[in-house]
Amino acid sequence: MAETPKIRFGFIGCAAIARRVSRAVALAPNAVLHAVGSRSIDKARAFAAANGFPAAAKVYGSYEAVLDDPEVDAVYLPLPTSLHVRWAVLAASKKKHVLLEKPVALNVAEFDEIIAACESNGVQLMDGTMWMHHPRTSKMKEFLSDVNRFGQLRSIHSNFTFRASADFLENDIRVKPDLDALGALGDAGWYCLRAILWAANYELPKTVIASRNPERNQVGVLLACGATLYWEDGKAATFYCSFLSNRSTDITALGTKGTLHVHDFVLPYEEKEASFYAATESGVDEAVTKWVPQPTKHIIETDISQVALMVNELARLVTDIKFKKAKPEKKWPTISRKTQLVVDAVKASIDRGFEPVHIQE
């Protein structure tokens, strides 16, 4: 029986994060680096040479040329958020499957254009939230779904912070209003809000209230912010994201019977090993000297990184569409859209003077 061909990836742009994804494509067993395009042919050549592209890979001096390459199956778009709707829609119109960096758009109206283009052209759409594809994530979900160990979800907190360099705060696209106007909210906050929705089984909160006194740069882009989310059944969640604080990537989920803690959810401390802590019916001993029972540490190992696992999953879906006439998986654009809706609500609350914002699908 003939081996199924690998899915051929084309890169639209040479952003810093594209280095990590190019390595992941090279590691994924069902994908291959096929092409890269930049507005500068010299930049594209240098990127391909530095990031493991095979000698036969195509190097183009424009984004359009990648999309016009009939051998490209899927494209990775690490472009500034302000360019997502234009290039993702064009990619879909050329029948290319799309791996789109987060945040997926500046607002949900833009993302709806991208979804419509992908659906009408029968192509798969997935965002680049890498931690979703780590096997630790499914193991944590097993614990959260166990009514005997975790009970009912009552509260969630998530944070993603890092202390950016002076050069980052001056020159990175994530602090430029014309390129990535959502700033820290769209970058780090996206991860936090996805974590909250994931823990809540993607049930949207009814109300969002942004925290007061967010930090901005001189041109008004958010450098740090947070919010509280409320559900009708009494659940609540908080998050904080920042370009100005020491690195942290945490999720705490509190249930009626158990607690989940993970301290490196965005990027595990080690590439091929990740852990989380689970506690059930926690208490203290009679002398109040220690916890009984104590939380248990769960360690999950992988053969390849979570980024390569993400690429592997997209390539699997594309393979099924291309060779088995499967339909695109709607799960991924659906949860991307819900995340964008909450990002929009946080921004709206900030813009309206920290008023409550009600979310409607």
Residue 141 appears among annotated catalytic residues: no
Catalytic residue among 102, 235, 338, 347: 102
* Residues 310 and 24: beta-carbon distance below 8 Å: yes
Q: Could you tell me if 328 and 119 are in contact, meaning their C-beta atoms sit under 8 angstroms apart?
A: yes
Which spans in 200-285 are helix H? none
Asked whether the beta carbons of 73 and 96 are under 8 A apart, the reply is yes
CB atoms inside a 10 Å sphere around CB 295: 16
Whether residue 103 has a cis bond before it, omega within 30° of 0: yes
In contact, 52 and 89? CB cutoff 8 Å: no
Q: In a 10 Å sphere around its CB, with 0-12 CB exposed, 13-18 middle and 19+ buried, how is residue 100 labelled?
A: buried
The conformation of residue 327, written as its DSSP 8-state character, comes to P
Beta-carbon contacts of residue 166 (< 8 Å; ≥ 6 apart) = none
The answer to whether 204 and 186 have CB atoms below 8 angstroms apart is: no
Q: SS3 for 151?
A: coil
Q: Is the peptide bond before 135 cis (omega within 30 degrees of 0)?
A: no
- As annotated, the active-site residues are 102
